Amino acid sequence: PGRQPHPTPGILRFQQSLLAHLEPPTPATDASEYFTDLRLATALIGLTWPVGQHLLDTTLSRYVTAYLHSTSENFGTSKGLQHHRLRDVPPRDPIACAGLLRAAHSLLETSDLSEHLSQLVHTPGERPTRTPWVRIYARHENSCSRRFRDPAEPLTRTYRKIGGPQGLRAPLRDDYRPEHIPAYLEPDWHERYFAPIAGIAPKVLRRTAAVRLVQWAIGGPLDEAATYLGIAPDRVRYRSNTDFQRWERAGRNPAEFERVLRELSAELRAPHRPLIDYQRRREALRDWAPPPDEWDPLVSELPPIPGPIRPAVGDRKRQDASVFIWVQVTQGEHLFTPRPIEAEQPQDVQREWALRRNTTWYNLVRPDIFRHYADLRNLLAEDAQALARDIDGGAGS
């Protein structure tokens, strides 16, 4: 080995700043939070190295790399737990220790801590390495600063366990609640916050944003948040690495989505209008469909269609009408709508109806709609508004 480097002026100044945090007039709480932040940042850099090597000069980076390589060899995958615990203590080697602490301090001093944390957590092209670090973060999150906790909280939410009644625990935020989030983000929210994000399909943005907002509110993995919203996990699987890869392919930075999502959550903390209890609406319509004694009078109001052909208005159309109303009331996606009428049909009839779902849905929502569907949509929209008012007022539960 060559000669060990002498401490640089920058390292000596950093050492003095560490000592200054332990002396008056620094308040004890501020000092404690700073050193907790430093500990968490050091562990994250160590676990995601070499992603954060840009935070150091070449000399110190080389020593840190050598130290982390040696510890990885000594604690292989068969002893992963010891390896992760080792990242939560400073290196014994003074140069590697100085390098990691200096890198952590540089990270904490960045103007956009949220974006830099996201870049460390989301390693490009790989599965995000969050699981080891979140164990460390969970042990110290109550002692770190608010400045560190605010951006770190969303990044660690995926791996929180949910307990308590019905598999859920009390909301982790004291502002908006999960029931305030529709399964398919409100069009106004999407238009004002997410529409400028190009390269990602609006359907993906609206669905993913809704799931992430619920996840922020109740914790747990994305699949559990999706299930809470009524999104069938066997049909749409949420994986943090899949989401990241989708953004990477589109040439977008995942931190952009996180930033916009935080802006929307800030609005939900101080809404311009009372928030809607969408979970109550979903529960009220879980097994709902227009009963025949209401459906028959409704379709009798449809204006006559010229010509000898009369559009069908039987049970299949009644099921399609319930899908339309459910979407209007719950702000969900038609893909995940309960279909109680269809479920009562023989298997061959169910298959036949399933083949025609998308066509009927398209006819109900297309702008240049056929007259029959235009008239039907107007009637159904009125019924949906009345049903929503009844549920919100307590009559539909």
**What confidence tens digit (pLDDT) does each residue in 87-145 have?**
678 788 889 999 999 999 999 998 878 778 877 876 544 444 445 787 788 888 889 99
Q: Report CA torsion sign: 73, 135, 101, 56.
A: positive
Measured at the alpha carbon of residue 119, what is the angle toward residues 118 and 122, in degrees to the nearest 5? 80
**Reported pTM:** 0.64
Residue with tokens 């502002």: 175
Composition of the chain by helix, strand, coil, percent to 5: 65, 0, 35
**Axis-axis angle for helices 146-156, 202-218 (nearest 10):** 120
Q: Which residues contact 359 (CB under 8 A, 6 or more apart)?
A: none
Residue in 338, 341, 342, 318 with CA at minimum distance from that of residue 330: 338
In the chain (397 residues long), the average pLDDT of successive 10-residue segments reads 73 91 91 95 90 87 88 54 61 89 92 79 49 80 88 64 41 70 94 87 89 82 86 64 59 75 88 92 94 94 83 93 96 93 96 92 83 92 95 75
Kindly list the domain boundaries of the chain, sorted by start residue. Answer: 9-156, 165-275, 282-392
Helix (H, G, I), strand (E, B) or coil at 70: helix
Check: CB of residue 197 under 8 Å from CB of residue 246. no
